[in-house]
Copies of this chain bind each other. A is one copy, B any other.
């Protein structure tokens, strides 16, 4: 018995990390914001495609890597950590493996087309579409089918997200579209992959915020000492690390559960998302408080990651939504 990532998971993660470290600078994250140069973002995306990541869940005969969810999770964490402003989870974890027979799969795997996914919304007549303003394709998870739309088949209206780099839109009207799958199992599987991927990204974001804060409090001095030497700061950051370190194994385990089609995979994925969402929200709050005033300025980079966390924690089912679903599973 062992609890550790597979060799393919580690290899993919390490290769991707090297690429992300070199390419996804904070300037690239800012390029996703309004008036940013989206071209630089797309350039990074194509480099990721060259490394094979986008087709991670696509079989080798379709030019993918033929890996499973377990192998993908650590890599999604790294992409989350980088802050890359694109529909990463949507495209890699959900859309690509659902498009196996579709003509546009090649464009997706090659990095030429990114896919946004409609989220359920309180205003059901006009669902939210994160990264919708600049997507090439959009996937809609219906009750029992998956439909893919070309960007040109959608009427969108821009909507501002708290995270400007999410380039949010609302779908005002849809026309055409292609049914990718028409069975509930396919929808469930797409949903679980989206939830799991979002949990992985939240783990990466949490790690990024915590790392930035630890670095900052080591060098920032007040009262003649680093603020990181104050017990209040130490204990706040210890609690942050605790929530991150205990959210992480359930996310890895959920990847393995999906990959092995474990009977309780849905519960494990819900557990992962609930824990990762709570950890990210808590760490965002702690990171801002431990930074102090500088965190409250947009010139400093922390807000780029905190806003992504605030946007993603409630998406794909917030923590309470997933806890309700676990409660039902427990017969509560």
Contact = CB atoms under 8 A, between A and B. Distances in A.
Interface of A: 230-232, 235
A174 B231 CA distance: 58
Nearest to A232: B231
A235 B231 CA distance: 10
A232 B235 CA distance: 8
A121 B214 CA distance: 50
A186 B163 CA distance: 56
Contacts of A235: 232
5 contacts: A230-B231, A231-B231, A231-B232, A232-B232, A232-B235
Contacts of A231: 230-232
A235 B235 CA distance: 11
A235 B232 CA distance: 8
A230 B232 CA distance: 9
A232 B232 CA distance: 6
Nearest to A231: B231
A192 to B, nearest CB: 33
A219 to B, nearest CB: 20
A235 B230 CA distance: 12
A231 B234 CA distance: 10
A238 to B, nearest CB: 10
Contacts of A230: 231
The 5 closest A-B pairs by CB, nearest first: A231-B231, A231-B232, A232-B235, A230-B231, A232-B232
A230 B235 CA distance: 12
A232 B233 CA distance: 10
A116 to B, nearest CB: 36
Contacts of A232: 231-232, 235
A315 to B, nearest CB: 26
A229 to B, nearest CB: 10
Nearest to A235: B232
A231 B230 CA distance: 8
A276 B235 CA distance: 27
Nearest to A230: B231
A206 to B, nearest CB: 23
A246 B235 CA distance: 25
A235 to B, nearest CB: 6
A9 B230 CA distance: 44
